[in-house]
Structure 1
Protein backbone atom coordinates (compact mmCIF):
# COMPACT_ATOMS: atom_id res chain seq x y z
CA UNK A 1 0.00 0.00 0.00
CA UNK A 2 1.25 3.47 -0.90
CA UNK A 3 -0.06 6.77 0.43
CA UNK A 4 0.24 10.22 -1.09
CA UNK A 5 0.01 13.16 1.30
CA UNK A 6 -1.44 16.37 -0.12
CA UNK A 7 -0.30 19.13 2.22
CA UNK A 8 -1.77 22.62 1.96
CA UNK A 9 0.74 25.20 3.19
CA UNK A 10 0.87 28.96 3.41
CA UNK A 11 3.56 29.84 5.97
CA UNK A 12 6.49 28.72 8.08
CA UNK A 13 8.54 26.22 6.02
CA UNK A 14 10.50 25.30 9.16
CA UNK A 15 7.36 23.89 10.75
CA UNK A 16 6.52 22.06 7.53
CA UNK A 17 10.00 20.53 7.66
CA UNK A 18 9.24 19.15 11.13
CA UNK A 19 6.00 17.64 9.82
CA UNK A 20 7.74 15.98 6.87
CA UNK A 21 10.50 14.66 9.11
CA UNK A 22 7.98 13.11 11.50
CA UNK A 23 6.14 11.36 8.67
CA UNK A 24 9.05 9.78 6.82
CA UNK A 25 8.11 6.29 5.62
CA UNK A 26 9.05 4.31 2.49
CA UNK A 27 5.38 4.10 1.43
CA UNK A 28 4.69 7.84 1.79
CA UNK A 29 5.17 10.59 -0.79
CA UNK A 30 4.38 14.24 -0.11
CA UNK A 31 2.81 16.68 -2.55
CA UNK A 32 2.85 20.25 -1.25
CA UNK A 33 0.52 22.99 -2.41
CA UNK A 34 1.77 26.48 -1.54
CA UNK A 35 -0.88 29.20 -1.36
CA UNK A 36 -0.49 31.33 -4.47
CA UNK A 37 -0.68 34.49 -2.34
CA UNK A 38 2.71 33.76 -0.79
CA UNK A 39 6.24 33.42 -2.12
CA UNK A 40 6.97 29.73 -2.71
CA UNK A 41 10.73 30.16 -2.84
CA UNK A 42 11.38 29.70 0.93
CA UNK A 43 9.75 26.26 0.70
CA UNK A 44 11.74 24.96 -2.25
CA UNK A 45 14.66 23.59 -0.21
CA UNK A 46 12.34 20.88 1.14
CA UNK A 47 12.44 18.96 -2.15
CA UNK A 48 16.21 18.60 -1.81
CA UNK A 49 16.00 17.92 1.92
CA UNK A 50 13.55 15.04 1.32
CA UNK A 51 13.59 12.75 -1.71
CA UNK A 52 9.87 12.03 -1.38
CA UNK A 53 8.65 15.63 -1.68
CA UNK A 54 7.10 17.23 -4.77
CA UNK A 55 5.35 20.56 -5.26
CA UNK A 56 1.99 21.12 -6.90
CA UNK A 57 2.66 23.32 -9.92
CA UNK A 58 -0.82 24.80 -10.42
CA UNK A 59 -1.35 26.91 -7.31
CA UNK A 60 -4.54 28.55 -6.06
CA UNK A 61 -5.07 31.57 -3.85
CA UNK A 62 -6.60 30.44 -0.59
CA UNK A 63 -8.83 32.68 1.50
CA UNK A 64 -10.59 31.57 4.65
CA UNK A 65 -13.95 29.85 3.97
CA UNK A 66 -13.68 30.53 0.22
CA UNK A 67 -13.47 28.18 -2.76
CA UNK A 68 -9.67 28.39 -2.99
CA UNK A 69 -9.17 25.49 -0.58
CA UNK A 70 -11.29 23.28 -2.84
CA UNK A 71 -9.44 24.49 -5.93
CA UNK A 72 -6.08 23.78 -4.31
CA UNK A 73 -7.25 20.28 -3.38
CA UNK A 74 -8.54 19.63 -6.89
CA UNK A 75 -5.27 20.91 -8.36
CA UNK A 76 -3.42 18.48 -6.14
CA UNK A 77 -5.64 15.56 -7.09
CA UNK A 78 -5.11 16.34 -10.77
CA UNK A 79 -1.31 16.43 -10.45
CA UNK A 80 -0.82 13.47 -8.14
CA UNK A 81 -0.40 10.26 -10.20
CA UNK A 82 -3.35 8.56 -8.51
CA UNK A 83 -2.73 5.19 -10.13
CA UNK A 84 0.51 4.97 -8.14
CA UNK A 85 -1.23 5.19 -4.76
CA UNK A 86 -3.93 3.50 -2.72
CA UNK A 87 -4.77 6.54 -0.57
CA UNK A 88 -4.42 10.30 -0.53
CA UNK A 89 -4.25 11.96 2.89
CA UNK A 90 -5.17 15.66 2.75
CA UNK A 91 -3.73 17.64 5.65
CA UNK A 92 -2.56 21.14 6.51
CA UNK A 93 1.04 22.18 7.05
CA UNK A 94 -0.12 23.08 10.57
CA UNK A 95 -1.00 19.45 11.34
CA UNK A 96 1.29 17.07 13.19
CA UNK A 97 1.16 13.29 13.73
CA UNK A 98 0.19 11.82 17.08
CA UNK A 99 1.60 8.39 16.22
CA UNK A 100 4.82 7.20 14.54
CA UNK A 101 4.73 6.93 10.76
CA UNK A 102 4.88 3.11 10.94
CA UNK A 103 1.79 3.02 13.16
CA UNK A 104 -0.07 5.40 10.87
CA UNK A 105 0.72 3.17 7.91
CA UNK A 106 -0.35 0.00 9.74
CA UNK A 107 -3.56 1.60 11.03
CA UNK A 108 -4.69 2.49 7.51
CA UNK A 109 -3.47 -0.79 6.03
CA UNK A 110 -5.58 -2.81 8.50
CA UNK A 111 -8.62 -0.76 7.46
CA UNK A 112 -7.83 -0.63 3.76
CA UNK A 113 -10.89 0.37 1.76
CA UNK A 114 -12.24 2.68 4.49
CA UNK A 115 -12.91 6.31 3.54
CA UNK A 116 -11.86 8.45 6.50
CA UNK A 117 -14.05 11.51 5.99
CA UNK A 118 -16.49 12.90 8.56
CA UNK A 119 -20.08 13.12 7.31
CA UNK A 120 -22.43 14.82 9.78
CA UNK A 121 -25.89 16.11 8.92
CA UNK A 122 -25.99 19.90 8.48
CA UNK A 123 -29.54 19.89 9.84
CA UNK A 124 -29.04 18.32 13.28
CA UNK A 125 -25.66 16.70 14.06
CA UNK A 126 -23.82 19.79 12.82
CA UNK A 127 -26.50 22.50 12.38
CA UNK A 128 -24.89 24.81 9.82
CA UNK A 129 -27.46 24.65 7.01
CA UNK A 130 -27.44 28.45 6.43
CA UNK A 131 -23.85 28.15 5.21
CA UNK A 132 -25.18 26.16 2.26
CA UNK A 133 -28.71 27.47 1.77
CA UNK A 134 -28.00 31.21 1.85
CA UNK A 135 -26.04 33.24 -0.68
CA UNK A 136 -22.46 33.85 0.41
CA UNK A 137 -20.14 35.98 -1.69
CA UNK A 138 -17.05 34.88 0.18
CA UNK A 139 -15.12 34.50 -3.09
CA UNK A 140 -15.75 38.10 -4.14
CA UNK A 141 -12.94 40.47 -3.22
CA UNK A 142 -15.25 43.50 -2.85
CA UNK A 143 -16.36 45.66 0.09
CA UNK A 144 -19.89 45.03 1.34
CA UNK A 145 -20.01 41.45 0.09
CA UNK A 146 -21.64 40.18 3.29
CA UNK A 147 -24.45 42.71 3.13
CA UNK A 148 -24.93 41.98 -0.55
CA UNK A 149 -25.12 38.25 0.15
CA UNK A 150 -27.77 38.82 2.79
CA UNK A 151 -29.70 41.01 0.37
CA UNK A 152 -29.63 38.32 -2.34
CA UNK A 153 -30.79 35.70 0.16
CA UNK A 154 -33.69 37.98 1.10
CA UNK A 155 -34.93 38.80 -2.41
CA UNK A 156 -34.18 35.60 -4.32
CA UNK A 157 -35.86 32.18 -4.01
CA UNK A 158 -34.24 29.76 -1.60
CA UNK A 159 -31.22 28.08 -3.11
CA UNK A 160 -31.75 24.54 -4.36
CA UNK A 161 -28.91 22.07 -4.60
CA UNK A 162 -28.52 21.01 -8.26
CA UNK A 163 -28.57 17.25 -7.57
CA UNK A 164 -30.64 15.09 -5.22
CA UNK A 165 -28.07 14.80 -2.45
CA UNK A 166 -28.20 14.86 1.32
CA UNK A 167 -25.62 17.47 2.28
CA UNK A 168 -23.20 16.41 5.01
CA UNK A 169 -19.75 17.41 6.15
CA UNK A 170 -17.62 18.71 8.99
CA UNK A 171 -13.93 18.85 8.05
CA UNK A 172 -11.93 19.39 4.88
CA UNK A 173 -9.12 17.12 6.11
CA UNK A 174 -9.56 13.51 5.10
CA UNK A 175 -7.92 10.25 4.02
CA UNK A 176 -9.53 8.76 0.92
CA UNK A 177 -8.85 5.84 -1.37
CA UNK A 178 -7.75 6.88 -4.82
CA UNK A 179 -10.86 5.10 -6.12
CA UNK A 180 -13.03 7.52 -4.11
CA UNK A 181 -11.01 10.48 -5.35
CA UNK A 182 -11.33 9.40 -8.98
CA UNK A 183 -15.07 9.02 -8.47
CA UNK A 184 -15.29 12.50 -6.94
CA UNK A 185 -13.34 14.07 -9.81
CA UNK A 186 -15.54 12.32 -12.36
CA UNK A 187 -18.70 13.40 -10.54
CA UNK A 188 -17.65 17.05 -10.49
CA UNK A 189 -16.69 16.95 -14.17
CA UNK A 190 -20.12 15.55 -15.03
CA UNK A 191 -21.95 17.98 -12.72
CA UNK A 192 -20.40 21.45 -13.15
CA UNK A 193 -23.53 22.98 -11.57
CA UNK A 194 -22.37 21.52 -8.25
CA UNK A 195 -19.13 23.50 -8.49
CA UNK A 196 -21.08 26.66 -9.30
CA UNK A 197 -23.38 26.07 -6.34
CA UNK A 198 -20.53 25.62 -3.87
CA UNK A 199 -18.86 28.82 -5.03
CA UNK A 200 -21.71 30.70 -3.29
CA UNK A 201 -21.50 28.75 -0.03
CA UNK A 202 -19.52 29.58 3.09
CA UNK A 203 -16.76 27.09 3.85
CA UNK A 204 -17.76 24.74 1.04
CA UNK A 205 -14.54 22.75 1.48
CA UNK A 206 -16.14 21.20 4.57
CA UNK A 207 -19.05 19.80 2.52
CA UNK A 208 -18.08 19.05 -1.05
CA UNK A 209 -16.21 15.73 -0.86
CA UNK A 210 -18.17 14.44 2.14
CA UNK A 211 -21.44 14.99 0.32
CA UNK A 212 -20.29 13.41 -2.94
CA UNK A 213 -19.18 10.20 -1.22
CA UNK A 214 -22.06 10.04 1.27
CA UNK A 215 -24.47 9.95 -1.67
CA UNK A 216 -22.58 7.22 -3.50
CA UNK A 217 -21.74 3.55 -3.17
CA UNK A 218 -18.75 4.61 -1.05
CA UNK A 219 -21.12 5.53 1.80
CA UNK A 220 -20.93 2.07 3.38
CA UNK A 221 -17.17 2.43 3.80
CA UNK A 222 -17.15 5.87 5.46
CA UNK A 223 -15.62 6.44 8.90
CA UNK A 224 -14.67 9.60 10.79
CA UNK A 225 -11.55 11.41 9.68
CA UNK A 226 -8.22 10.90 11.44
CA UNK A 227 -7.53 14.46 12.61
CA UNK A 228 -8.03 15.80 16.13
CA UNK A 229 -9.25 19.41 16.27
CA UNK A 230 -9.98 21.44 19.39
CA UNK A 231 -12.83 23.91 19.01
CA UNK A 232 -13.70 26.75 21.33
CA UNK A 233 -16.70 26.39 23.62
CA UNK A 234 -17.87 29.63 22.04
CA UNK A 235 -19.72 28.40 18.94
CA UNK A 236 -19.41 31.82 17.29
CA UNK A 237 -15.66 31.21 16.89
CA UNK A 238 -15.17 29.37 13.60
CA UNK A 239 -11.41 28.82 13.85
CA UNK A 240 -9.87 25.81 15.63
CA UNK A 241 -7.79 26.63 18.68
CA UNK A 242 -4.00 26.67 18.48
CA UNK A 243 -2.76 23.61 20.37
CA UNK A 244 -0.16 24.14 23.10
CA UNK A 245 1.83 22.14 25.61
CA UNK A 246 -1.24 22.23 27.87
CA UNK A 247 -3.00 19.97 25.35
CA UNK A 248 -0.28 17.31 25.30
CA UNK A 249 -1.98 14.69 27.49
CA UNK A 250 -5.28 15.07 25.67
CA UNK A 251 -3.53 14.69 22.32
CA UNK A 252 -1.62 11.51 23.15
CA UNK A 253 -4.77 9.95 24.63
CA UNK A 254 -6.75 10.76 21.51
CA UNK A 255 -7.79 7.98 19.12
CA UNK A 256 -6.78 10.20 16.18
CA UNK A 257 -3.59 9.85 14.14
CA UNK A 258 -3.05 13.58 13.52
CA UNK A 259 -3.94 16.84 15.20
CA UNK A 260 -4.26 20.46 14.22
CA UNK A 261 -3.71 23.32 14.58
CA UNK A 262 -0.12 23.99 15.65
CA UNK A 263 1.94 27.15 15.34
CA UNK A 264 5.58 26.90 16.38
CA UNK A 265 5.79 30.68 16.65
CA UNK A 266 3.15 30.53 19.38
CA UNK A 267 4.27 27.32 21.09
CA UNK A 268 7.15 25.21 19.77
CA UNK A 269 7.39 23.09 22.93
CA UNK A 270 4.31 21.04 22.04
CA UNK A 271 5.94 19.98 18.75
CA UNK A 272 9.16 19.00 20.54
CA UNK A 273 7.17 16.95 23.06
CA UNK A 274 5.27 15.19 20.28
CA UNK A 275 8.52 14.45 18.46
CA UNK A 276 9.82 12.79 21.60
CA UNK A 277 6.57 10.89 22.09
CA UNK A 278 6.51 9.40 18.59
CA UNK A 279 10.21 8.63 18.66
CA UNK A 280 11.78 11.39 16.58
CA UNK A 281 15.22 11.60 18.16
CA UNK A 282 15.80 15.27 17.57
CA UNK A 283 14.33 18.18 15.67
CA UNK A 284 15.56 18.78 12.14
CA UNK A 285 15.74 22.54 12.69
Structure 2
Protein backbone atom coordinates (compact mmCIF):
# COMPACT_ATOMS: atom_id res chain seq x y z
CA UNK A 1 0.00 0.00 0.00
CA UNK A 2 1.43 3.38 -0.98
CA UNK A 3 1.96 6.18 1.53
CA UNK A 4 -0.90 8.09 -0.07
CA UNK A 5 -3.23 5.14 0.38
CA UNK A 6 -2.27 4.85 4.04
CA UNK A 7 -3.71 8.30 4.68
CA UNK A 8 -7.09 8.78 6.32
CA UNK A 9 -9.62 11.49 5.52
CA UNK A 10 -11.80 12.80 8.33
CA UNK A 11 -14.97 14.44 7.06
CA UNK A 12 -16.58 16.67 9.67
CA UNK A 13 -20.06 18.18 9.67
CA UNK A 14 -20.24 21.08 12.14
CA UNK A 15 -22.60 23.90 13.05
CA UNK A 16 -21.74 24.84 16.64
CA UNK A 17 -19.55 23.94 19.65
CA UNK A 18 -16.42 25.19 17.89
CA UNK A 19 -14.25 24.94 21.02
CA UNK A 20 -15.04 21.22 21.09
CA UNK A 21 -14.30 21.08 17.36
CA UNK A 22 -10.82 22.53 17.93
CA UNK A 23 -10.18 19.90 20.61
CA UNK A 24 -11.30 17.27 18.09
CA UNK A 25 -8.86 18.67 15.52
CA UNK A 26 -6.07 18.51 18.11
CA UNK A 27 -6.85 14.82 18.60
CA UNK A 28 -6.82 14.19 14.83
CA UNK A 29 -3.68 16.26 14.24
CA UNK A 30 -1.42 13.69 12.62
CA UNK A 31 0.62 13.81 9.41
CA UNK A 32 -1.29 10.74 8.18
CA UNK A 33 -4.63 12.58 8.31
CA UNK A 34 -6.40 15.06 6.07
CA UNK A 35 -9.40 16.80 7.63
CA UNK A 36 -12.28 18.35 5.69
CA UNK A 37 -14.92 20.44 7.48
CA UNK A 38 -18.37 21.51 6.33
CA UNK A 39 -19.64 24.36 8.52
CA UNK A 40 -23.35 25.03 8.15
CA UNK A 41 -23.99 28.04 5.92
CA UNK A 42 -26.34 29.42 8.59
CA UNK A 43 -23.27 30.09 10.79
CA UNK A 44 -22.39 33.76 10.33
CA UNK A 45 -19.06 33.93 12.15
CA UNK A 46 -16.61 31.15 11.43
CA UNK A 47 -14.11 30.01 14.07
CA UNK A 48 -10.36 30.21 13.64
CA UNK A 49 -9.47 26.52 13.40
CA UNK A 50 -6.00 25.09 12.98
CA UNK A 51 -3.85 21.97 12.83
CA UNK A 52 -0.06 21.63 12.84
CA UNK A 53 0.69 18.17 11.43
CA UNK A 54 -2.42 17.16 9.51
CA UNK A 55 -3.85 18.97 6.51
CA UNK A 56 -6.98 21.00 7.20
CA UNK A 57 -9.49 22.07 4.54
CA UNK A 58 -12.58 24.10 5.43
CA UNK A 59 -15.16 24.00 2.63
CA UNK A 60 -16.04 27.42 1.24
CA UNK A 61 -19.20 26.68 -0.72
CA UNK A 62 -21.38 25.17 1.97
CA UNK A 63 -25.08 24.45 2.47
CA UNK A 64 -27.74 25.29 4.99
CA UNK A 65 -28.32 21.94 6.67
CA UNK A 66 -31.61 20.94 8.29
CA UNK A 67 -32.03 17.83 10.42
CA UNK A 68 -33.91 15.01 8.69
CA UNK A 69 -33.83 16.90 5.37
CA UNK A 70 -32.15 16.01 2.05
CA UNK A 71 -29.64 18.79 2.82
CA UNK A 72 -27.92 16.38 5.22
CA UNK A 73 -27.20 13.99 2.37
CA UNK A 74 -26.15 16.86 0.10
CA UNK A 75 -23.67 18.13 2.72
CA UNK A 76 -22.23 14.64 3.11
CA UNK A 77 -21.76 14.39 -0.64
CA UNK A 78 -19.98 17.76 -0.65
CA UNK A 79 -17.49 16.36 1.84
CA UNK A 80 -17.20 13.04 0.00
CA UNK A 81 -16.48 14.76 -3.32
CA UNK A 82 -14.05 17.31 -1.89
CA UNK A 83 -11.96 14.66 -0.15
CA UNK A 84 -12.17 12.25 -3.09
CA UNK A 85 -10.80 14.88 -5.48
CA UNK A 86 -7.90 15.49 -3.12
CA UNK A 87 -6.54 11.98 -3.45
CA UNK A 88 -6.87 8.32 -2.58
CA UNK A 89 -7.35 7.34 1.07
CA UNK A 90 -7.31 4.12 3.04
CA UNK A 91 -10.42 5.34 4.85
CA UNK A 92 -12.95 8.15 4.85
CA UNK A 93 -14.43 8.77 8.32
CA UNK A 94 -17.64 10.79 8.50
CA UNK A 95 -18.03 12.36 11.94
CA UNK A 96 -19.63 15.39 13.55
CA UNK A 97 -17.94 18.39 15.13
CA UNK A 98 -18.93 17.09 18.57
CA UNK A 99 -17.26 13.69 18.20
CA UNK A 100 -14.06 12.71 20.00
CA UNK A 101 -11.77 9.75 19.27
CA UNK A 102 -11.28 7.53 22.30
CA UNK A 103 -7.91 6.25 21.11
CA UNK A 104 -4.85 7.95 19.67
CA UNK A 105 -4.13 8.00 15.96
CA UNK A 106 -1.51 5.25 16.04
CA UNK A 107 -4.06 2.89 17.58
CA UNK A 108 -6.81 3.92 15.14
CA UNK A 109 -4.60 3.58 12.05
CA UNK A 110 -3.45 0.14 13.21
CA UNK A 111 -7.07 -0.87 13.90
CA UNK A 112 -8.20 0.10 10.40
CA UNK A 113 -5.13 -1.47 8.80
CA UNK A 114 -6.28 -4.79 10.27
CA UNK A 115 -9.67 -4.37 8.59
CA UNK A 116 -7.93 -4.59 5.20
CA UNK A 117 -10.36 -2.31 3.38
CA UNK A 118 -13.60 -3.43 5.04
CA UNK A 119 -16.23 -0.73 5.64
CA UNK A 120 -17.25 -0.02 9.21
CA UNK A 121 -20.90 0.85 9.88
CA UNK A 122 -23.07 0.75 12.98
CA UNK A 123 -26.38 -1.01 12.31
CA UNK A 124 -29.62 0.50 13.59
CA UNK A 125 -33.02 -1.09 14.17
CA UNK A 126 -35.36 -0.64 11.23
CA UNK A 127 -39.04 -1.18 12.14
CA UNK A 128 -41.32 -1.66 9.13
CA UNK A 129 -43.40 1.39 10.04
CA UNK A 130 -40.28 3.57 10.12
CA UNK A 131 -39.29 2.47 6.61
CA UNK A 132 -42.86 3.04 5.46
CA UNK A 133 -42.86 6.63 6.66
CA UNK A 134 -39.26 7.72 6.16
CA UNK A 135 -38.44 6.30 2.72
CA UNK A 136 -41.67 4.93 1.23
CA UNK A 137 -43.70 8.12 1.65
CA UNK A 138 -43.14 11.64 0.34
CA UNK A 139 -42.06 13.70 3.34
CA UNK A 140 -42.90 17.34 2.72
CA UNK A 141 -42.31 20.26 5.13
CA UNK A 142 -39.20 18.63 6.65
CA UNK A 143 -37.01 21.70 6.18
CA UNK A 144 -39.00 23.60 8.81
CA UNK A 145 -40.10 20.55 10.84
CA UNK A 146 -37.70 21.48 13.67
CA UNK A 147 -37.77 25.25 13.15
CA UNK A 148 -36.75 27.39 16.12
CA UNK A 149 -39.88 29.44 15.42
CA UNK A 150 -42.63 27.75 17.40
CA UNK A 151 -45.50 28.64 15.08
CA UNK A 152 -43.57 27.59 11.96
CA UNK A 153 -42.61 24.31 13.60
CA UNK A 154 -46.18 23.51 14.66
CA UNK A 155 -47.62 24.31 11.24
CA UNK A 156 -44.94 22.25 9.46
CA UNK A 157 -45.46 19.25 11.73
CA UNK A 158 -49.24 19.46 11.31
CA UNK A 159 -48.93 19.61 7.52
CA UNK A 160 -46.41 16.76 7.51
CA UNK A 161 -48.74 14.51 9.53
CA UNK A 162 -51.68 15.41 7.29
CA UNK A 163 -49.63 14.61 4.19
CA UNK A 164 -48.57 11.21 5.56
CA UNK A 165 -52.17 10.36 6.47
CA UNK A 166 -53.32 11.34 2.98
CA UNK A 167 -50.70 9.07 1.38
CA UNK A 168 -51.68 6.15 3.62
CA UNK A 169 -55.38 6.56 2.82
CA UNK A 170 -54.74 6.58 -0.92
CA UNK A 171 -51.95 3.96 -0.75
CA UNK A 172 -49.31 6.25 -2.24
CA UNK A 173 -45.96 4.47 -2.06
CA UNK A 174 -42.53 5.78 -3.02
CA UNK A 175 -39.57 3.55 -3.89
CA UNK A 176 -41.77 0.45 -4.21
CA UNK A 177 -39.09 -1.84 -5.59
CA UNK A 178 -36.27 -0.77 -3.30
CA UNK A 179 -34.90 -2.71 -0.34
CA UNK A 180 -33.63 -0.42 2.41
CA UNK A 181 -31.03 -0.89 5.12
CA UNK A 182 -30.31 1.43 8.01
CA UNK A 183 -27.14 2.38 9.89
CA UNK A 184 -25.75 5.37 11.70
CA UNK A 185 -24.71 8.09 9.28
CA UNK A 186 -21.38 8.28 11.15
CA UNK A 187 -19.23 5.70 9.37
CA UNK A 188 -15.87 4.71 7.92
CA UNK A 189 -15.65 3.80 4.23
CA UNK A 190 -12.86 2.34 2.13
CA UNK A 191 -11.70 3.92 -1.11
CA UNK A 192 -13.50 1.27 -3.18
CA UNK A 193 -16.82 1.87 -1.46
CA UNK A 194 -16.45 5.64 -1.57
CA UNK A 195 -15.86 5.40 -5.32
CA UNK A 196 -19.16 3.56 -5.66
CA UNK A 197 -21.14 5.83 -3.34
CA UNK A 198 -20.03 8.80 -5.44
CA UNK A 199 -21.06 7.07 -8.67
CA UNK A 200 -24.54 6.66 -7.22
CA UNK A 201 -24.96 10.34 -6.29
CA UNK A 202 -27.57 11.34 -8.87
CA UNK A 203 -29.69 8.27 -8.09
CA UNK A 204 -29.39 8.89 -4.35
CA UNK A 205 -30.47 12.53 -4.54
CA UNK A 206 -33.48 11.57 -6.62
CA UNK A 207 -34.47 8.56 -4.49
CA UNK A 208 -34.10 10.34 -1.14
CA UNK A 209 -35.35 13.79 -2.17
CA UNK A 210 -38.46 13.46 -0.01
CA UNK A 211 -37.12 11.06 2.61
CA UNK A 212 -37.05 11.75 6.34
CA UNK A 213 -33.57 11.11 7.83
CA UNK A 214 -32.47 9.55 4.56
CA UNK A 215 -28.85 10.00 5.63
CA UNK A 216 -29.29 6.88 7.79
CA UNK A 217 -30.41 4.80 4.82
CA UNK A 218 -28.55 5.75 1.66
CA UNK A 219 -25.03 4.42 2.28
CA UNK A 220 -25.97 1.04 3.84
CA UNK A 221 -28.65 0.56 1.17
CA UNK A 222 -26.14 1.23 -1.61
CA UNK A 223 -23.57 -1.18 -0.17
CA UNK A 224 -26.00 -3.94 0.83
CA UNK A 225 -27.80 -3.93 -2.52
CA UNK A 226 -24.62 -4.11 -4.57
CA UNK A 227 -21.65 -6.42 -4.87
CA UNK A 228 -19.98 -4.55 -2.00
CA UNK A 229 -22.17 -6.25 0.61
CA UNK A 230 -19.35 -8.58 1.64
CA UNK A 231 -17.19 -5.53 2.31
CA UNK A 232 -19.45 -4.24 5.10
CA UNK A 233 -18.68 -4.90 8.76
CA UNK A 234 -21.33 -3.83 11.27
CA UNK A 235 -19.53 -2.87 14.45
CA UNK A 236 -21.40 -1.66 17.52
CA UNK A 237 -18.18 -0.30 19.03
CA UNK A 238 -17.70 2.28 16.30
CA UNK A 239 -19.43 5.02 18.31
CA UNK A 240 -20.42 5.56 21.94
CA UNK A 241 -23.65 7.54 21.75
CA UNK A 242 -26.52 7.59 24.25
CA UNK A 243 -29.96 9.15 24.21
CA UNK A 244 -32.07 11.02 26.73
CA UNK A 245 -35.71 11.71 25.95
CA UNK A 246 -35.19 11.06 22.25
CA UNK A 247 -32.22 13.45 22.00
CA UNK A 248 -28.52 12.66 21.87
CA UNK A 249 -27.06 12.85 25.37
CA UNK A 250 -24.36 15.44 26.04
CA UNK A 251 -21.64 13.81 28.11
CA UNK A 252 -20.23 15.25 31.33
CA UNK A 253 -17.34 14.33 33.60
CA UNK A 254 -19.67 11.98 35.48
CA UNK A 255 -19.80 9.84 32.32
CA UNK A 256 -16.02 9.58 31.90
CA UNK A 257 -15.56 6.00 33.14
CA UNK A 258 -18.56 4.78 31.15
CA UNK A 259 -17.16 6.38 27.98
CA UNK A 260 -13.61 5.09 28.43
CA UNK A 261 -14.72 1.58 29.38
CA UNK A 262 -17.11 1.33 26.42
CA UNK A 263 -14.42 -0.02 24.09
CA UNK A 264 -15.72 2.28 21.35
CA UNK A 265 -13.50 4.03 18.82
CA UNK A 266 -15.34 7.36 19.03
CA UNK A 267 -17.88 9.05 21.29
CA UNK A 268 -20.55 11.70 20.70
CA UNK A 269 -21.63 14.26 21.81
CA UNK A 270 -19.71 16.83 23.80
CA UNK A 271 -20.21 20.48 24.69
CA UNK A 272 -18.14 23.42 25.90
CA UNK A 273 -20.43 23.48 28.93
CA UNK A 274 -18.75 20.23 29.99
CA UNK A 275 -15.32 20.89 28.52
CA UNK A 276 -13.60 19.18 31.47
CA UNK A 277 -14.63 15.72 30.22
CA UNK A 278 -13.29 16.60 26.77
CA UNK A 279 -9.96 17.67 28.23
CA UNK A 280 -9.69 14.58 30.42
CA UNK A 281 -10.38 12.21 27.52
CA UNK A 282 -7.81 13.88 25.29
CA UNK A 283 -5.20 14.15 28.04
CA UNK A 284 -5.34 10.38 28.50
CA UNK A 285 -5.45 9.38 24.81
CA UNK A 286 -1.81 8.39 24.50
CA UNK A 287 -1.97 6.11 27.53
CA UNK A 288 -4.78 4.01 26.02
CA UNK A 289 -3.64 0.90 24.15
CA UNK A 290 -6.68 -1.39 24.50
What is the distance in 1 between the residues matched to 2:67 and 2:144? 12
Say yes or no: does 1:176 pair with 2:189.
yes
Matches within 5 A, 1:42-81: 42-43=47-48, 45-46=49-50, 52-80=55-83, 81=85
**Is the Cα–Cα contact under 8 Å of residues 142 and 156 in structure 2 kept in the other structure?**
no
Matches within 5 A, 1:141-180: 141=144, 143=152, 144-156=155-167, 157-161=171-175, 164-180=177-193
C-alpha displacement of 1:271: 0.7
C-alpha displacement of 1:50: 5.8
Cα deviations by residue, 1:4-59 (Å, 9 ceiling, x for unpaired): 0001111232221111111222211101111110025324x426x56511112220
SS in structure 2 opposite 1:133? coil
Task: Provide the residue aligned with 2:148 in structure 1.
Answer: none
SS in structure 1 opposite 2:158? helix
SS in structure 1 opposite 2:106? helix
Cα deviations by residue, 1:116-168 (Å, 9 ceiling, x for unpaired): 123445236xx632322333224444842222222222333332316x43211
Task: Provide the residue aligned with 2:224 in structure 1.
Answer: 214
Task: Flag the 1:201–1:119 CA change in 2: closer, same or farther, 3 A.
Answer: same
Instruction: Pick one of 27, 34, 55 that aligns with 1:29.
Output: 34
SS in structure 2 opposite 1:134? coil
What is the distance in 1 between the residues matched to 2:130 and 2:240? 20
Cα deviations by residue, 1:143-197 (Å, 9 ceiling, x for unpaired): 42222222222333332316x43211131100001221120121233x2xx4234
Task: Provide the residue aligned with 1:230 in structure 2.
Answer: 242
Select between 221-230 and 26-35 the one with higher mean Cα deviation: 221-230
SS in structure 2 opposite 1:199? coil
Matches within 5 A, 1:198-213: 198-213=208-223
TM-score, normalized by length of structure 2? Answer: 0.84
What is the distance in 1 between the residues matched to 2:56 and 2:124? 33
SS in structure 2 opposite 1:16? helix
TM-score, normalized by length of structure 1? Answer: 0.85
What is the distance in 1 between the residues matched to 2:104 and 2:143? 42
What is the distance in 1 between the residues matched to 2:269 and 2:117? 27
Task: Flag the 1:82–1:165 CA change in 2: closer, same or farther, 3 A.
Answer: farther
**Is the Cα–Cα contact under 8 Å of residues 32 and 55 in structure 1 kept in the other structure?**
yes
Instruction: Pick one of 9, 20, 28 that aligns with 1:4.
Output: 9
Cα deviations by residue, 1:185-227 (Å, 9 ceiling, x for unpaired): 21233x2xx4234232221111111111111111112123522
What is the distance in 2 between the residues matched to 1:272 and 1:217? 43
Say yes or no: does 1:278 pair with 2:289.
no
Task: Provide the residue aligned with 1:261 in structure 2.
Answer: 269
Aligned-residue Cα RMSD (Å) equals 2.2
What is the distance in 1 between the residues matched to 2:25 and 2:226? 33
